[in-house]
Amino acid sequence: MTHQVSLQGEQTRNCGDANSSREDNVLSFTRSPPSNHGTTALNLVYQAAEVFRDMEEHAREIETRAQSLCKSAVDQLKLAEMRTEEAERSRREVINDAERKLQDASRALRQAEKRIVASEDQVTALEFRAQAAEAQLRDAKQALLLVEEAIRKRLLGSNSVNVGQHHAIAV
């Protein structure tokens, strides 16, 4: 048994030398006098319990931080989803509004085109009427000149020089 204890002691010393930077987390397993074996064992149990309590506390802190981070991430995700939904709603409203305005503009353009065609038809009809009126006016002037000439010939006698002058003035 002493051989086992000394072997364990040497392993502990070698382990302690190799991990000297982590002394806080390493329990000391040095050999104590035989009368203190019970006390040493009890101390080791207390030290192990304290290490486990520290580990559990550290785990609880990590879990609390992780839960807090998760809650924060979920809240941020919900906020981002709400913003995305709002942006999508706004986008749909803008598109619908633009479509309505485009339809209104299209309708107004078609009506304007119809009015332009109707106006062009009216202008064409008025031009034909004006041409017909001008032709009637020329015919009326011509008839008036003929009547005037006939009156002059019959009433005043045949004065061809005066008739030619009146004819030139009337035209």
Stretch 99-103: mean pLDDT, rounded? 96
Residue whose token pair is 């987390």: 25
Q: How many CA atoms lie within 13 A of 26 on its CB side?
A: 15
- Does the pLDDT at position 6 exceed 50? no
Count of residues in the chain: 171
pTM of the predicted structure, to 2 decimals: 0.42
pLDDT, tens only, 111-122: 999 999 999 999
Tokens linked to 170: 């009337």
Residue whose token pair is 């006939």: 150
Q: What is the pLDDT of residue 19?
A: 45
pLDDT, tens only, 50-92: 999 999 999 999 999 999 999 999 999 999 999 999 999 999 9
Q: What's the DSSP call for residue 19? A: T
Burial of residue 26 (CB within 10 Å: 0-12, 13-18, 19+) is middle
> Is 73 in contact with 65 (CB distance < 8 Å)?
no
